[in-house]
């Protein structure tokens, strides 16, 4: 939740200018959030004030759906296919600052194609917290817990930055997807990151982009296949996930399934790299007399 609040605070800067024109406040100007979204056009902002809103609606390209007070007090929910859908949305499109209660819902935030921003949200208990298909979305600063798949990406190349994924079955599930995964906390999921199909993610790779991936059933589960030239083969591909923190200075191979390159890794502070387990200094048993 803390990361969601921090990311939401960035969106607050945009709200003041948005209030000058093209902004609909819910429920003050329009009580029906779904109707407000249907009526919004490119460049408009739908600004939602605290409350619990039962909704299944599409966010059009160029529309900003923003919470006025943040995820602690502004809740979107339903028990159907999705809560909000973004289809063919460009980089001016944004969904920010909500709690998505996805219990009984297939996808809390569904995104098909386009490159919207999904930031500062708290998402829980859906089948897919955020479902991305053929999308280059920026997914940043969200906290996702209790879902079957926290973030699911299929044939997509999104940026997954500074998200926290906790106690999902799959923290991040990739099917023939090649996202950038940077500065995320992927903790206590059954499978932290799972690769299937023809997936070529960038996972950490530098001190400035290292992830914390720890205490999952498998930290990285690789069932990916290899592309050889222009051919899609059945050969297993190697997943490269170097320069990440795996919960200790001596990560166990048992945390990985399939072919995974996890060396070098980093310490918890993300300021040192290791190619092998550091030697433990023998205890000093001498005494001064």
Residue 145 included in any domain: yes
Q: CA 11, CA 142: separation in Å to the nearest integer?
A: 13
pTM of the model: 0.89
User: C-alpha distances in angstroms, 23 versus 29, 37, 163?
Assistant: 9, 11, 28
Cα angle 235-239-240, degrees, rounded to a multiple of 5: 140
Contact 78, 102 (CB under 8 A): no
Instruction: Give 54's strand partners.
Output: 77
Instruction: Give 31's strand partners.
Output: none
pLDDT for 152 equals: 98
Contact 178, 198 (CB under 8 A): no
In CATH, what number is assigned to the domain containing residue 193?
Answer: 2.160.20
Contact 167, 146 (CB under 8 A): yes
Among 246, 257, 191, CA closest to 224: 257
Give the residue ranges of the chain where pLDDT is below 70: 1-21, 228-231, 233, 280-289
pLDDT tens-place string over residues 149-184: 999 999 999 999 999 999 999 999 999 999 999 999
pLDDT for 17 equals: 46
pLDDT for 224 equals: 84
pLDDT for 288 equals: 40
26-63 per-residue burial string, b: 16 or more CB within 10 A, e: under 16? beeebeebbebbeebeeebbbbbeeeebebbbebbbbb
Residue 284 included in any domain: no
Number of domains composing the chain: 1
Per-position DSSP letters for 180-222, written without gaps between them: EEES-EEES-SEEEEEEES---EE--SGGG--EEESSSEEEEE
pLDDT for 9 equals: 55
Among 198, 137, 138, 193, CA closest to 169: 193
Residue 62 included in any domain: yes
Q: What is the residue range of 216's domain?
A: 2-274
pLDDT for 285 equals: 42
């Amino acid at each position: 939740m803390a990361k969601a609040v921090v990311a939401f605070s960035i969106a607050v800067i945009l709200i003041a200018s948005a209030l000058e024109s093209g902004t609909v406040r819910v429920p003050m100007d329009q009580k029906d959030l779904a109707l407000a979204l249907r009526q919004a056009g490119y460049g408009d902002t739908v600004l939602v004030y605290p409350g619990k809103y039962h909704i299944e609606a599409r966010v059009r390209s160029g529309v900003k759906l923003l919470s006025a007070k943040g995820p602690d007090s502004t809740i979107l929910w339903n028990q159907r296919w999705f809560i909000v859908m973004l289809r063919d949305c460009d980089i001016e499109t944004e969904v920010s600052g909500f709690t998505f209660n996805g219990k009984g819902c297939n996808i809390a935030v569904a995104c098909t194609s386009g490159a919207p921003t999904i930031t500062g949200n708290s998402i829980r208990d859906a089948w897919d917290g955020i479902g991305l298909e053929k999308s280059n979305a920026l997914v940043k600063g969200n906290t996702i817990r209790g879902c079957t798949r926290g973030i699911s990406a299929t044939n997509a190349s999104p940026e997954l930055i500074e998200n926290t994924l906790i106690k999902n079955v799959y923290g991040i599930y990739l099917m023939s997807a090649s996202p950038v995964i940077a500065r995320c906390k992927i903790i206590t999921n059954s499978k932290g990151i799972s690769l299937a199909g023809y997936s070529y993610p960038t996972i950490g790779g530098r001190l400035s982009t290292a992830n914390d991936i720890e205490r999952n059933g498998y930290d990285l589960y690789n069932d990916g296949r290899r592309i050889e030239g222009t051919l899609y083969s059945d050969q297993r591909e190697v997943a490269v996930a170097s320069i990440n923190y795996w919960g200790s200075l001596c990560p166990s191979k048992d945390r990985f399934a399939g072919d995974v390159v996890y060396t070098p890794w980093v310490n918890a502070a993300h300021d040192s790299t290791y190619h092998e387990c550091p030697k433990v200094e023998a205890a000093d048993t001498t005494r001064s007399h």
